[in-house]
Amino acid sequence: MLEPLARPLHLVLVSPQIPPNTGNVARLCAVTGCRLILVEPLGFSIDDRNLKRAGLDYWDKVFLRLYPTYEAYVAAYPDARRWLFSARAEQTLYEARFEEGDHLVFGSEVTGLLPEVMEG
């Protein structure tokens, strides 16, 4: 049985739409111990039947949380240090100084992070 890291990074996908992309992030989380947070709406189903059909048999190794809205996610982690990833960011990934327990927040592959997330 896997034991979670003391203060892992949290990878937050807000409204992901492409199942293989989410599957790749989930696999990364499974092997590194990072936490995966999915914020609905999702562009696919994560029920057992669909996961098995896609061959994603490592999902039982992923520390997953699912939230119905971005606001519900923020309420669950009010004091989290969040890094919002955007093509229009003022700071590059290479300038960031990540710390244990940080939340790395990514938007939909189609729309990116919505303005209310970027402004919040």
**What are the binding residues for S-adenosyl-L-methionine?**
107
User: CA-CA distance, 30 to 24, in Å (whole number)?
Assistant: 10
Are the C-beta atoms of 23 and 56 separated by less than 8 Å? yes
Backbone angles phi, psi at 2, to 5 degrees: -75, 140
Known binding-site residues equal: 107
User: CA-CA distance, 84 to 66, in Å (whole number)?
Assistant: 18
